[in-house]
Chains A and B, each alone.
Chain A
Amino acid sequence: MANIVIDRIRKSFGSFEALKEVSLTINDGEFVSLLGPSGCGKTTLLRIIAGLETATSGDVRIGEKSVIGLPPKDRGLAMVFQNYAVFPHMTVYENVAFGLRMQKAEDRRVKAQVEKAAGLLHIEQYLDRYPNKLSGGQRQRVAVARALAVEPKVLLMDEPLSNLDALLRLEMRTELKTVLQSAGTTTIYVTHDQTEAMGLSDRIAVMHGGVVEQVGSPVDVYNHPATRFVGGFIGNPPMNFIKVPVANGQVMAGADQLAVPREAGNEIVLGLRGEAVELAPPQQGLEMKVRVAEPMGSHLLLTGSIHDQPVRVILPASETVKSGDTIGLKLDRNRITWLSPESGKSFPAVAA
């Protein structure tokens, strides 16, 4: 158990800056995801924490102790790799036992730990098999068991589910959450899949272009994105961004007047989650032209435009809207994010 402090880490590959002064604090026992598109620097940051990569500058502290310059094995961590990296020439038992063997643990302890980890991941029946006889999901269980068997202070996971098929990924995600909750290990989880990050994490650090754009709880990041990038990256459909004119510190949304932050100029970007709307009579609500209506069973997905800007909104499945209709929308005031059209950053929320 330990907290992790990432202090102004920079990393350049030649002239390319993979990480630009990244700072992040992860509390003891917390599950934090590094979320971002490929090339955002999330894996590089994880490898720097692991000690597999050297930072150009900055400090990493695990349990208040700087680990820069320490080899990976002296950092008290374990790691799960994207391609599992389960040793093909060792049985599942020896794979799970590998870390303990390296620590020269006595056989009794090895046996106990391996059995405990194998039990958690439900791989007891495969212990004397070789990994090539196992499916991808089973191999990933072995990789996780191998990491948990050493009871690490910190667990690093690099896209551990991305090599699995969709159904298995969902199943493993739920199971990982159960297993890691009971283990209580400080975990850093790298992923490009926002649903994975939302489902698993205590907090999410959204990364983009070598910078952490926002750190917050899944709900926070979802409802109050700090930047246009975060709002667009998280959520399916992504957040809608509608540029609207400001008059007298207010924006007209149909019959409703919405107060905007004082810093706003003549125009402001209205960040709207697709489901933060209700159907209203056309004259009273914000006018939306519906191009395509897709009944999805659980909800109704509408694609169209507001103020000639593309939007996607979600209505209850019970509403009847057809392609080509013009409808009115009532916006949920508490779930609106206001963003600057120039910087793409969001303004602090206004009191309603």
Chain B
Amino acid sequence: MTNNRSWIPYLLILPSVAFLGLLFVVPLVQTIWLAMSDNGMPSLANAERMVNDINFARSVRNTFLLTIVVVPVQLCIALVMGTLVAKVGRGRETILWIWTIPLGISDLAAGLVWLSILQNTGYFNSALFGLGIIERQASWLSYQTPVALFLAIAIAEIWRGTAIVMVIIVAGLNQVPKEFREAAEIFGAGPWTRFWRITLPLIRPALQSALILRTVLAFEVFAVVYALGGRNFPVLVGEAYYWQNQNQNYGVAAAYAVLIMIISLAATLVYLKAIKVDPERLP
């Protein structure tokens, strides 16, 4: 019986394997080949062209800068939100629902929302003018105000992407029995000690997942930047887009895509090493 049926599991996973192969592995191999070849011959010409482009260094710097600023801030806010919502009794579901609304908005739409707030004739300027803080329209999103532009993009990204971190953190917090915190409280740990020494170590798996997911997504930032800053603030995915669409150079675009993938994989590895999850030390 069992021998006759040994092929059934393989049959069952066949559709998903075929799906992955067709839509993931094949394009991946094609992209890598596209990036590493020139006129059908293996070549590093595309990579060279990418690295020597005037926007390359800026886009690498901007992408890393955004990730380094946005991800930790999102993690902190998500931890605060998760802890707050854990203390709420009634209306918890409603609060969670409202907080996750940004998750349901497409990133380009989110970018446009923030554009309508921050552009020269936007709500932010109107409010400042109404309060008498500024005398004429101020520009926040131009290449002449790089710091304001960076902050605007960071804030929009934080608004857009914190909810997913919070959802994972809340799920992690729900896994920690309340007796751990109560025991810590009985034995003299204050709220801070309880958080740092009990809660945080116990939600390591959730922290790890949230950080990997959020960091990979941060390296792929594009639509919000595109809506708010255009090419005034070059980022890696944006450059891939311009090489593909405007310069019609698929090779260099593919080189960018491969670079982003390598960075994401490296970041994931770093997290897996840095936040070790030892199943022995979990509840």
Contact = CB atoms under 8 A, between A and B. Distances in A.
Interface of A: 50-52, 71-73, 77-79, 81-83, 85, 87-89, 98-99, 102-103, 130, 132-133, 146, 150
B57 to A, nearest CB: 42
Contacts of A150: 187
B59 to A, nearest CB: 40
Contacts of A81: 179, 182-183
B187 A85 contact: no
B281 A88 contact: yes
A87 B198 contact: yes
B281 A132 contact: yes
B280 A133 contact: yes
Contacts of A99: 187-188
27 contacts: A51-B186, A52-B186, A73-B185, A73-B186, A73-B187, A78-B186, A78-B187, A79-B182, A79-B183, A79-B186, A81-B182, A81-B183, A83-B177, A83-B179, A85-B177, A85-B179, A85-B182, A85-B183, A87-B183, A88-B202, A88-B281, A88-B283, A89-B281, A98-B189, A132-B279, A132-B280, A132-B282
A71 B180 contact: no
Contacts of A79: 182-183, 186
Nearest to B188: A102
B42 interface: no
Q: Of A81, A89, A102, A130, which is in contact with the most chain B CB atoms at under 10 Å from its CB?
A: A89
Contacts of B283: 88
Contacts of A88: 202, 281-283
B281 A72 contact: no
Interface in B236-257: none
Nearest to A73: B188
Contacts of A98: 184, 187, 189
B198 to A, nearest CB: 7
Contacts of A87: 180, 183-184, 198
Interface string B162-182: 000000000000000101101
B113 to A, nearest CB: 41
A226 to B, nearest CB: 33
B187 A146 contact: yes
Nearest to A74: B188
Contacts of B282: 88-89, 132
B281 A52 contact: no
Contacts of B183: 79, 81, 85, 87
B90 to A, nearest CB: 12
A82 B179 CA distance: 9
A103 B180 contact: no
B186 A89 contact: no
B280 A72 contact: no
A103 B281 contact: no
Contacts of B184: 87, 98
A89 B207 CA distance: 15
Contacts of A133: 280
A89 B188 contact: no
A50 to B, nearest CB: 6
A334 to B, nearest CB: 45
B180 A85 contact: yes
A346 B36 CA distance: 94
Nearest to A149: B187
A130 B188 CA distance: 22
A52 B186 CA distance: 8
Contacts of A51: 186
B27 interface: no
B177 A102 contact: no
A71 B194 CA distance: 14
Closest 3 A/B residue pairs (Cβ):
A102-B188, A85-B179, A99-B187
Contacts of A102: 187-189, 193
Nearest to B282: A88
Given A52-B185, A83-B177, 4 more contacts: A72-B185, A79-B186, A81-B183, A88-B282
B185 A89 contact: no
